[in-house]
């Protein structure tokens, strides 16, 4: 398959709500395969279609990506149906490089969606898996890590990126 370009903040596609997948066809299957390759190449533990420039509700997650026999979880049109608890932990994002921040998220989640074959899936997750699912589903809703941190930290990151972009343009 192919490794796709990961869109970086402030790309417009990252701020848009992704469209539902109406039909799981060969294009969606190819997108899924390419997203998995891209996630492993990055390396990351999750990736949402908007992060590769595709406004579709598709995510891939593999919190054990460093293990040889690990299988990625593929979810199409996922939605969180239940949450429990609240925990704050450090998070990073492939689309927001050099930003690691403490983010509050549900400790446990229940997520439903479709697998790559179109079968209904219901996942109960906690710990890192729950965090990764919430993070990737945020991307489908146009929410990025910067939207989950304090305004001060967000502004500091934006200034850092602006300076970096100005240096590149010189």
Residue from 5, 79, 91, 136 carrying the catalytic annotation: 136
As a dihedral over the C-alpha atoms of residue 39, residue 44, residue 47, residue 52, rounded to 10 degrees, the angle is -60
The reply to whether 136 belongs to the active site is: yes
- Kindly tell me the sign of the dihedral angle through the C-alpha atoms of 157, 162, 163, 168: positive
Adjacent-strand bridge partners of 109 = 83, 125
DSSP 6-37: PP-TT-GGGGSPPBPP----HHHHHHHHHHHH
Q: How many residues are present in the chain?
A: 170
**Cβ neighbourhood burial of 111 (10 Å; 0-12, 13-18, 19+):** buried
From CA 140, how far away is CA 155, in angstroms rounded? 23
**Which positions are catalytic?**
136
């Amino acid at each position: 398959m192919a490794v796709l370009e990961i869109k970086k903040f402030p790309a417009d596609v990252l701020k848009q709500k992704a469209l539902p997948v109406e039909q799981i066809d060969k294009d969606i299957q190819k997108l899924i395969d390419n997203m998995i390759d891209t996630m492993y190449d990055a390396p990351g533990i999750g990736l949402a279609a908007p992060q590769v420039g595709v406004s579709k509700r598709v995510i891939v997650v593999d919190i054990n990506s460093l293990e040889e026999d690990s299988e990625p979880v593929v979810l199409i049109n996922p939605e969180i149906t239940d949450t429990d608890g609240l925990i704050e932990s450090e998070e990073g994002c492939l689309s927001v490089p050099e930003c690691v921040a403490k983010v509050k998220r549900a400790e446990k989640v229940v997520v439903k969606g479709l697998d790559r074959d179109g079968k209904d899936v219901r996942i109960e997750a906690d710990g890192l898996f729950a965090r990764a699912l919430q993070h990737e589903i945020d991307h489908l809703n146009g929410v990025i890590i910067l939207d989950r941190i304090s305004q001060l930290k967000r502004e500091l990151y934006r200034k850092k990126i602006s300076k970096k972009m100005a240096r590149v343009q010189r």
